[in-house]
Amino acid sequence: MENKLAKLRDELTALEQVVIAYSGGVDSTFLLFQALQELGKENVLAVIAESPTYPQEEIAAAIILADKLGVECRQIKTEEFSDENFLRNSKERCYFCKKELFAKLKQLALEKGITHLADGSNFDDLRDFRPGSKAKLEFGVRSPLQEAGLTKAEIRELSRQSDLPTWDKPSLACLSSRIPYGTRITLETLAKIGWGEEYLKQKGFKQVRVRHHGSIARIELEEEFIPLIMENGLMPEVTRYFEGLGYFYVTLDLKGYRTGSLNEEVSDESDLS
């Protein structure tokens, strides 16, 4: 792990200046922290995107954390909801979303006279279906954590050693990733998903996903937390809440939480190129 960290530091030093796509999550926060260590705050710009696909409370927390780290943090609005390619939610959805984000980052970088863009993709992300990677190549976005071979677990441990408050933060992903491919993305659906996940977090569940299947809400929890939802009368309460959101059926996925579960149905090898 130390060799990987040394490689990361060398990569960041070589960039000299960088604009970082920042979300306040585990990976982008660690990348931002290391960039500040190697380049100094005058050579690093953190940029966070405001979008209906990302909870407002997460944006607010990310801005506060960036301020504590002492880095300049810009907030931009992305407009993927103006793109029919995004709204129709094909298997390439992530590409169109990332294309919109990186285009705006590129424009901001040019205005600041900064050549390099970077995001917080890690080595584990190479195992998942990630069409957004194509947009990274088109805009020349670097992924220093991934290039250094750092996994999510290693990033968490290094974050813990660096006293970063995000070291044990639940994994984040845009709310549109809860909607199966082919189901149109709407503001109403994203709001339902967001409310549902926030409700479960308030009930003490840490890592949650509400997968939207039309009239069905499929809830994913970490395996060790699954029994808790069946105790103390919580299951009927959860059911009533989700029915109030408009779901007719409320289900609990017995496989538990896993990253990108909706990609499990992506089996065509041509989609993975």
Q: Which residues are catalytic?
A: 174
Question: 225: closest CA among 253, 247, 250?
Answer: 253
DSSP string of 38-86? HH-GGGEEEEEEE-TTS-HHHHHHHHHHHHHHT-EEEEEE--GGG-HHH
* Exposed/middle/buried for residue 203 (C-beta within 10 Å: 0-12, 13-18, 19+): middle
Question: 52: closest CA among 189, 206, 168, 241?
Answer: 189
Q: What is the β-pairing status of strands 18-21 and 44-50?
A: parallel
Interacting residues of 163 by C-beta distance below 8 A, sequence separation 6+:
none
Q: What is the β-pairing status of strands 216-221 and 208-213?
A: antiparallel
